[in-house]
Amino acid sequence: MDEALTLAVDGRRPPTPVAVKELAALCDRVEDGGHGVAVLRVAGAPGPHWANGLDTALVTKWERALRRFERLPAVTVAVATGDTGGTALDAFLAADLRLVAPDTRLVLPSDGEATWPGMAAFRLVRLLGAGRARRAVLFGDPICAEDTLASGLADELVDDPDAALADLVHRYGADGGSELAVRRQLLLDAATTPFEDALGSHLAACDRALRRTTTQEPT
């Protein structure tokens, strides 16, 4: 695996300009080099005063960088260990494939009065539904490793994250590309888009697939 396509995200720290630039640089390398896999290693959860000095402009830049990562024409993987919150949780939830170590706990940051209202809460609800995400979003209750697996937040619970990651890269490393990004968007839209509105996007994707098949047929 190309280590240049792996980025560590430390959830103990709030979004910073450096963190935004690092994630953007990873996206640049994937988009420019046509690599099939982008990996985020995430760990750490913020303390009660983690957002001191943070401003909305920087949060916006971080969320935009995550959205770009979420739409990459590549398989995206996140590997979580230990308590995972803040920026680490943001990154974890934005990935296609998610691995957790046995000691992993997903935690929404709290200032003692309420949890942080960032897009991690949105993604948790999209992935779990409002009922199953309620206690985490409203009260900051941690989601343990076993529950992440049972609920579908994680794909695998692994004792050896490095070995599991290598296996995923071997299995899915050739699956990146613009068509993967299209399938990902169709998947995400299916949860909220009425059939009639979704039909056009699916038919357009079918048309592209048929055109590729035609161009690949031997003459």
* Long-range Cβ pairs for the range 20-24 (8 Å, 24+): 20/58, 20/61, 20/62, 20/65, 23/62, 23/65, 23/66, 23/68, 23/69, 23/91, 24/65, 24/68
Question: pLDDT by residue (tens digit) across 24-49?
Answer: 999 999 988 766 789 999 999 998 88
Question: pLDDT by residue (tens digit) across 117-167?
Answer: 999 999 999 999 999 999 999 999 999 999 999 999 999 999 999 899 888
What is the CATH code of the structural domain delimited by 3-172?
3.90.226.10
Q: Does 19 score more than 50 pLDDT? A: yes
For residue 3, what pLDDT is reported? Answer: 44
Residue extents of the structural domains in the chain: 3-172, 178-216
